Amino acid sequence: MTKKLALVLAAAGCSTASFQGVDDGGEGDAGVTRTDAAVTDGAAPDRPADAREPLPPQTTRLRIVSSCAFPIWIAHANHPSGEQNVRLDPGDHHDYAIPASGLASARFWPKLGCDANARNCRIGDSGEGGGAPCGPGGCHPPIDSKFEVTFAAIGSSAATFYNLSLVDGYTLPFSVTPVGAGAGVGSCTASDCSALTLDACPVAEDLGGSAYPAYADRSLRVSDVGCMSPCKAWTYPAPYGLHLPESQDPGLHLCCPTPIDPGTGQCTAANGCMTPTACRSSSDPLGVVHTDFVQLVHARCPTAYAYSYDDDAGLHACPADTGFRVELCP
């Protein structure tokens, strides 16, 4: 039996797009659609975004659209079915078939500057899913602009959760728009990170405050392809980071590891552990909330995760049948 949802989505460059759930066997055909018929292999359309044809109606629970001026490749974690490293030229979109039974802990991210086989990228090959294997120069830091989602079963009473994870950093500006009857209700709201550009990335981040002056003035820029979070700048190996343990301050405050159950009362800084409450504290001068990176994310993308335990800002709960439109370079 077909289960239909009347959904309306305001989309860039088009008036509306509709999403319909499908029968219990899963969702219908999914794939890349190029809005410019003149696109050929290896060639991107040379026309302004506002001249592109309207996108067709959305018929699956996940559509990813590229409004970037250059090709990108969409990778995902291992467990979602479907093609890895889908190339999207400017104006292209890809609809992902999500099982009607649901899909837990899915992750999608863009790769940049890849070769014809979606390998040897400038960023995005972090060793997971479509980012594996890593290139000859080693794995990239996982600073990609990530869309993370758990789809509930169609028609169930469970919630569908989504977030924009910037805990490790970001590469491209992006936005996420829930589509469905419950879109816009409660925390099931759109997230706009379109202003999160690389030129805003902190280049003189103070990782340790006045207590650790040796770690002041740290650039978080990764060439011209990404912005690394303070925690990742602390823990990741050279040449990208300092490769220091998160159990050592100021990394303890930047990364907020919780190796000990907070319920035991033993999760203390002295034991290399930060409770969620301690991590969020603004009264602690070493707190990650005081970093330029977190303040940038909260100012330009206030509904995304900027650090571990940033749940109040970043976690979104939607009705089970909700779908999503993710746009890169909106």
Summarize pLDDT for 163-187 with one digit per residue, the tens.
999 999 999 999 999 998 889 889 9
Summarize pLDDT for 87-106 with one digit per residue, the tens.
999 999 999 999 999 999 99
Q: Based on the fold, state whether residues 45 and 144 are members of the same structural domain.
A: yes
Q: Based on the fold, state whether residues 187 and 207 are members of the same structural domain.
A: no
**pTM for the full predicted model:** 0.84
Q: What pLDDT, on a 0 to 100 scale, did the predictor assign at position 144?
A: 97
Please report, rounded to a whole number, the percentage of residues in the chain having pLDDT higher than 90: 75
Summarize pLDDT for 121-130 with one digit per residue, the tens.
999 999 999 9
Q: Based on the fold, state whether residues 45 and 141 are members of the same structural domain.
A: yes
Q: Based on the fold, state whether residues 207 and 273 are members of the same structural domain.
A: yes
Q: Based on the fold, state whether residues 229 and 164 are members of the same structural domain.
A: no
Tokens of 191: 């997230």
pLDDT band, residue 13 (cuts 50/70/90): very low
Q: What pLDDT, on a 0 to 100 scale, did the predictor assign at position 50?
A: 53
Q: Is residue 13 part of a domain?
A: no
Q: Is residue 78 part of a domain?
A: yes
Cβ–Cβ under 8 Å, residues 114 and 73: yes
Q: Is residue 309 part of a domain?
A: no
Mapped to the 3 state alphabet, what secondary structure does the chain carry?
Answer: CCCCCCCCECCCCCCCECCCCCCCCCCCCCCEECCCCCCCCCCCCCCCHHHCCCCCCCCCCEEEEECCCCCEEEEECCCCCCCCCEEECCCCEEEECCCCCCEEEEEEEEEECCCCCCCCCCECCCCCHHHCCCECCECCCCCCCEEEEEECCCCCCCCEEEEEECCCEECCCEEEEEECCCCCCCCCCCEECCCCCHHHCCCCECCCHHHCHHHCCECCEECCCEEECHHHHHHCCCCCCCCCCCCCCCHHHHHCCCCCCHHHCCCCHHHCCCCHHHHHCCCCCCCHHHCHHHHHHHHHCCCCECCCCCHHHHCEEECCCCEEEEEECC
Report angle CA 186, 189, 192 to the nearest 5 degrees: 150
Q: Based on the fold, state whether residues 133 and 206 are members of the same structural domain.
A: no
Residue 277 backbone dihedrals phi, psi, to 5 degrees: -65, -45
Q: What pLDDT, on a 0 to 100 scale, did the predictor assign at position 107?
A: 96
Q: Based on the fold, state whether residues 239 and 186 are members of the same structural domain.
A: no
Q: Based on the fold, state whether residues 220 and 135 are members of the same structural domain.
A: no
The mean-pLDDT minimum among 16-20, 206-210, 291-295 falls in: 16-20
Please report, rounded to a whole number, the percentage of residues in the chain having pLDDT higher than 70: 84
pLDDT of residue 48 exceeding 60, the answer is: no
Q: Is residue 203 part of a domain?
A: yes
Number of domains in the chain: 2
Q: Based on the fold, state whether residues 183 and 269 are members of the same structural domain.
A: no
pLDDT of residue 134 exceeding 60, the answer is: yes
Sheet holding 103-112, edge to edge: 86-88, 72-76, 103-112, 146-151, 160-165, 316-318
pLDDT of residue 20 exceeding 50, the answer is: no
Q: Is residue 256 part of a domain?
A: yes
For residue 284, give its domain range.
198-300
CATH code assigned at 135: 2.60.110.10
Q: Based on the fold, state whether residues 163 and 252 are members of the same structural domain.
A: no
What is the pLDDT averaged over residues 74-93? 92
Q: Based on the fold, state whether residues 153 and 248 are members of the same structural domain.
A: no
Q: What pLDDT, on a 0 to 100 scale, did the predictor assign at position 51?
A: 56
Q: Is residue 41 part of a domain?
A: yes
pLDDT of residue 300 exceeding 60, the answer is: yes
The mean-pLDDT minimum among 106-120, 125-139, 145-159 falls in: 125-139
Q: Is residue 5 part of a domain?
A: no
The rounded mean pLDDT for the chain is 85
Q: What pLDDT, on a 0 to 100 scale, did the predictor assign at position 31?
A: 54
pLDDT band, residue 52 (cuts 50/70/90): low
Q: Based on the fold, state whether residues 50 and 162 are members of the same structural domain.
A: yes
The mean-pLDDT minimum among 20-24, 80-84, 316-320 falls in: 20-24
